[in-house]
A and B are shown apart, each in its own frame.
Chain A
């Protein structure tokens, strides 16, 4: 099955800084999503981005499917951005419902 690796595992930023989170996946995907898990445990979908680039406010994401990676950009970070960011990928074969989650990047934004 698909392997999903995220880096870095931990990231500490000062408020206002920018950051890039990376997600590598081992096989062709037809589904790639980014999620934010806040400190209270809630999982929020940020982007559905199997290819291309999307932007939503201070967040943007790019997936280069041919090179099997996706990037999540956070600009002008705020303390409310803290939490764990997960990348999840789904492939063409097998169960197309099975989103494979990476282990996440834990982001801490300091005031």
Chain B
């Protein structure tokens, strides 16, 4: 398996623009997670899905952020409009077992820079 695949790897955008990050989880994994990593706050969970259904989105910072999982093999994280403080590395991870039992597999991340 190719692992968790994220695209793009790097994204530079201007403030106010819409940004869409993409993730393909490992086939057969029922759980998908979006994390954000910054120097100030470290790694934070934004949202996670089970069987394509959002389970916990309490980490989504504000209404400008939205995430979808239209099918088992694809998820998006959208920021509209983007702001400089959204600059971070965004990771997608997938699990096979329930999160409290399983090992998390991370993608390589998308480094987002909003100027």
Contact = CB atoms under 8 A, between A and B. Distances in A.
Interface string A21-51: 0000000001101010000111111001000
Contacts of B102: 48
Contacts of B108: 40-42
Interface in B91-115: 91, 93, 98-106, 108-109, 111
Given A97-B31, A101-B43, A43 B91 contact: yes
Contacts of A53: none
A9 B55 CA distance: 33
Interface residues on B, range: 20 to 34
B99 A99 contact: yes
Interface string B79-93: 000000000010101
A31 B100 contact: yes
Interface in A42-83: 42-45, 48
Given A86-B43, A104-B42, A99 B98 contact: no
B58 A42 contact: no
A43 B106 CA distance: 6
Interface string B40-69: 001111001010000110110000000000
Given A41-B89, A48-B102, A88-B43, 12 more contacts: A31-B100, A35-B104, A40-B108, A41-B111, A42-B106, A42-B109, A45-B105, A95-B56, A97-B48, A97-B50, A98-B48, A104-B42
Interface of A: 30-31, 33, 35, 40-45, 48, 86, 88, 90, 92, 95-99, 101-104
